[in-house]
Amino acid sequence: MRVSMDLELKDIPGQLVLALKPVSEFKGNLISVVHHHEKRTPRGKIPVQLVFEIKSDHLDNIISLLEESGISVVSVDEKRYLEHGAVILIGHIVHTDIKDTIDKIDNTGYAEVVDLNLAMPRINRPSSASLKIDAVSKQHMSAAIELLKSIAKEKDLLVIEPIGVN
Partner 1 sequence: MKTIRASIIGFGAVGQGVAKVLLDKRDYLRGIGIDMKVIAIADSRTAVVDAQGVDLASALSRKKETGAVGSDTISGTEIIRTVDHELVIETTPTNIETGGVGLVNMMAAFERGMDVVTSNKGPLALKYGEVMAAAKSSGSYCRFEATVGGAMPVINLACDVLAGNRMISMEGIFNGTCNYILSRMMEEQAPYEQMLAEAQELGIAEKDPSYDVEGIDTASKLVIVANSIFGMNVSYKDVTVTGITRITPEALSLANADGFAIKLIGEVNDSRINVAPKLVPLSHPLAVGGTLNVFSVQTDLAGPITITGRGAGSIETASAILSDIISIYRN
Among 26, 47, 49, 91, interactor with partner 1 by CB under 8 A:
91
| Residues paired with 131 in a beta bridge | 87, 116
Among 90, 102, 143, 147, interactor with partner 1 by CB under 8 A:
90
Among 58, 126, 147, 155, interactor with partner 1 by CB under 8 A:
126
CB proximity list for 105: less than 8 A, separation 6 or greater? 111, 112, 113, 133, 144, 147, 148
Check: CB of residue 63 under 8 Å from CB of residue 52: no
In 3-state terms, what secondary structure has residue 16?
helix
Nearest to residue 32, comparing CAs of 13, 47, 51, 15? 51
| Residue range at the interface with partner 1 (CB under 8 A); choices 14-22, 83-91, 95-103, 104-112 | 83-91
- The yes or no reply on residue 162 touching partner 1 (CB under 8 A) is yes
- The yes or no reply on residue 143 touching partner 1 (CB under 8 A) is no
Half-sphere exposure of 84 (CA within 13 A, CB side): 4
Among 6, 53, 106, 161, interactor with partner 1 by CB under 8 A:
161
- The yes or no reply on residue 15 touching partner 1 (CB under 8 A) is no
d(CA 88, CA 117): 9
- The yes or no reply on residue 70 touching partner 1 (CB under 8 A) is no
Binding site for partner 1 (CB under 8 A): 86-88, 90-91, 117, 119, 121, 125-130, 132, 158, 160-163, 166
